[in-house]
Structures are given as structure tokens and as C-alpha cells.
Amino acid sequence: MPAHVLYGDTFLVPEALNRLKSEAGIDELLDANYHQLQGNQVNPAELISMCGALPFMDSHRLVVVTGLLARQERRTGERRRSGGRSQRGEGGQQTPALGGWEGLQKSIPEMPDTTMLVFIEGAISDSNPLLRLLKPLSKVQALKAPSGEGLARWIKDAAQFKGAKISPTAIKSLGDLVGSDLWTLDRELEKLSLYATGRAIEESDVGELVAQVREGNIFAAVDAMIDGKPGVALRLLHQLRQDGRDISSIIAMVERQLRLMALARDSIERGLPQSEVAKRLGTSSEFVVRKTMDQARRHSWQGIKARYRRLLEADLAIKRGIMEPDLALELLVAEQATAR
């Protein structure tokens, strides 16, 4: 198919685009045949005209459109909240108006074989109206960051790609500390592979070099609580204790993360762009924004409130001397891990 949709993890999507280019033998094109368009700046007529043109002194024309589906998703959400209009789709079903992009349904099958049209996105929902329209017309790849054994394999393969070997304990430690943030994992593996030149990367290397150990620990601990893995969460929080953090500080870190999750959840429902979410969260760190938005998507408002309530109860029990701090922490983790 001449059209593709790549969406999901922001590390995997560019990799998938590079693979598409290599498979088609179009790693290098003249500037006149390589178009990179932003979804908020392109209109249907312009895109359709561009895709219908034959390449100039090249085998292919590559058109990459970024953010169009996410923009359509935000507009659809805004219309729903304001009671906006819909239009009739096939079979008379109500479908959200697509602002002229319905024309792709006719134009994509008519594109010359020399054109490759690629839509690239971050996280979008399966109910995205433009995604639904494009699915039967395009090759769609939903690229989700790996987890569990898949993440361990990814770390091992990424290390090998950099010419390094990594021990199983180092893989587990790195995965626990950073989670499935592939951008951060790639950066840390780059440093670790240089540091351990000539030998395998060990767990001690990870603890010594990984830059975001503490921040990664709190993200990974909250992730473990969410995923129902109290053992992992406790081990990470105890490591923070060993690094000199007291219980009140750890509880404050968890409270901060829950508060950021609530802000992120509200921002997602409002359809705010990532730059605006960063302002609301009070951070310029893409790592913090990506991780917090990922956690927020996996939580309902009821779930966030329930976790907040349990955290408050644990904090009060410690401050009133009702419960010994480490025991309160263990109970908190157990309760958070079973909350839904």
C-alpha cells in the first residue's frame, strides 16, 4: 500500500519510518521529492495534490504528515463537549465531521505507486475518526513500548546494537529504574556501553551511571503499584530509603506524582498539546511529561482519588504515631498495588 500510519511510542515511530524508507530503497531523495508536513498547517487539497504528483528525477516521492490524526482527535473531542455536528457515514451511521479529510478515501487509492504517504503520530485512541477512515486504505502500525520480557529483550538487543553485552541483572536493574521510556534507555545504554568497553555491563555499572536513578525509581515504583507489583515497588522504595530518603520524603514524592497524574488526566481530557501539559505540570522535562501522561491514561478519576485517599491515611498514621513508618510504607504499597 502507498499509504502508512505509524503511531504510538515516540522512539519506535521514527525507527519504523526509517525501516519503511530502507525497504522502499528511498533512504536518500532530492529535497523536491521529500515533504515533511505538520498536521496543523496542511489542508486536504494541498496534500492530495502533492501525493498525486510524479517524482522529479527520483524513483519515489515521500510525503510525511505529523500530528494530523491527533489534531483531528482533539477537534472531535471539542465538538462532542460543545454538542457539535456530526455527519452521516456509511450505512447512515453518525460519524464526526472530518473537515474535508474524507477526500482521502478516494484519493489514496488513486495515488501513483511512486508516492509513499506516511502519517506519524504519538499516542492516539483506536476510536480516532481519521484513523478509522485510513485503516482500510493504509498499512497501520500501532507501536507500543515493550514491557516485561519484551522490554528485557529490547534492552539486550539495543545493547548489542551498540556493540556491548549486558548481564541479566543489569537488564533488570535498568528496566526497573527507567521503565519503558525507550529514549532514556537508549541514552543510558549509550553511556553504559562506553563505560564498560571490553566487558559486559553489570548491575553495579547501572547504579553508578544512570542519571535519573531517583526520579526513575519513583516513576518505576508508581508504575509497579499501578501494575499490581508490590514486590518491585517495595524494592525500589527501599532503595530510595538506602539512598537517604526518609519516609515523609518518599510519601511526598508519591503524593506529587499522584497530583501530576491528576493534572495530566485533566489535560488529556481537554485535548491539550504536550507543550501545554508541560506548563501545567511545571516541568520542562520531556521524560517527566511522557511518563506522567502514560500513567494518567491508565487511570480513571476514581482510581486517582482512591490512591490519594490511601496515601493520606498512611501519612496521618505515621504523623500521629499510630504506625511505624516502614510498616506504613509496606501497607501503603500493598494497598496501592491492589487499588483499581
- Note the pLDDT tens digit of each residue in 101-120: 999 999 999 999 999 999 99
Per-residue pLDDT band at 76 (split at 50, 70, 90): low
Asked if 7 and 132 sit in the same domain, the reply is yes
Candidates 129, 45, 127, 41; CA nearest to 86 is 129
Counting Cβ atoms within 10 Å, is residue 118 exposed (0-12), middle (13-18) or buried (19+)? buried
Report the DSSP pairing between strands 115-121 and 61-66. Answer: parallel
Residues 227 and 334 in one domain: yes
Same domain, 9 and 136: yes
Residue position matching grid coordinates 496534500 = 47
Assess contact for 60 and 26: CB atoms under 8 A. Answer: yes
Look at residue 222 and give its three-state secondary structure: helix
Given a cut of 90, whether residue 156 has pLDDT beyond it is yes
Same domain, 103 and 118: yes
Q: Are residues 153 and 207 in the same domain?
A: yes
| Rounded Cα–Cα distance for residues 125 and 307 (Å) | 25
Per residue in 227-263, pLDDT (tens digit) is 678 888 888 887 777 766 677 777 887 888 888 889 9
**Which band of pLDDT confidence, cut at 50, 70 and 90, is reported for residue 84?**
low
Cα dihedral 45→47→52→58 (10° resolution)? 150
Measured CA to CA, the distance from residue 224 to residue 221 in angstroms comes to 5
* Helix, strand, coil in percent for the chain, rounding step 5: 60, 10, 30
Which CATH number goes with the domain that contains 37? 3.40.50.300
d(CA 159, CA 179) in angstroms, rounded, equals 16
pLDDT at 85 over 60: no
pTM attached to this predicted model: 0.60
pLDDT digits (tens, 9 = 90+) for 266-293: 998 888 888 888 888 887 767 778 878 8
Same domain, 137 and 7: yes
Strands 115-121 and 3-8: parallel
Q: How many CB atoms lie within 10 A of CB 180?
A: 21
Averaged pLDDT of the chain: 83
Show which of 114, 143, 172 is a domain's final residue.
143
Residue 88 has pLDDT above 70, yes or no: no
Please identify which residue in the block is written with the cell numbers 525507550: 182
